[in-house]
Amino acid sequence: MRQGTKSSPKEAMEITELLHQDHQKVRDLFFKFKNSENKQEQEKIVEAIITELHIHATVEEEIVYPVVSKEAEDAEDLVEEAETEHHMVKHLMAELSDMSADEDHFEAKVTVLCELVGHHIREEEKEMFKKLKDSSADLEELSEKVMARKEELEAMPLPSMQSTLTIDSKKSAVKSQSGLSAARRKKTA
């Protein structure tokens, strides 16, 4: 009899585990970058980091963060902070996507990106994951949605990183406008 093999369908994974796996993948890529001295290889690793981070940030912003805001207690500030960190990360990704590894500041920008991402991941895993687990959100259903969206994004060509910044500023404009009109409604009520 074979040991350790299960014929039952793959167990559903909770969203926190799925996101953690993505985080680990990016950490490993940064580690690989630090240990590489070959410029061509470094460029390839940075391309992989940008692709991974783009897909991961997109599913978090489209699917995970709205659920955290809605279902978790006192999570608004945490989500806004996470969105702002994504925005800073995207700025660096936009710059790096137009650079070659032998340009000045290439390595410095990757180092700062690694630090930013490291800080962001630690906060998500320490605070946001806990809030998600304590909430009434269905963590397995959320994971299925994220997996489906990731598959879609993986099949698409990577957009220009500059364009993701434009989407970000449009989103904040809509947000602040709706915030403004909500404040006005409150005032006039």
Binding site for Fe ion (CB under 5 A): 60, 124
Planar angle of CA 42, 50, 125, nearest 5 degrees: 110
Spatial separation of the C-alpha atoms in residues 148 and 122, rounded to whole Å: 25
* Min separation Cβ 107 and Fe ion, Å: 24
Nearer to Fe ion, 43 or 124 (CB): 124
Instruction: Name every residue whose Cβ is closer than 8 Å to that of residue 96 and which is 6 or more positions away in sequence.
Output: 46, 50, 106, 109, 110, 113
Rg (CA), the chain: 19
* Min separation Cβ 60 and Fe ion, Å: 5
E strand or H helix that includes residue 134: helix 129-134
Nearer to Fe ion, 23 or 43 (CB): 23
* Min separation Cβ 181 and Fe ion, Å: 28
Nearer to Fe ion, 23 or 106 (CB): 23
Nearer to Fe ion, 101 or 113 (CB): 113
* Min separation Cβ 124 and Fe ion, Å: 5
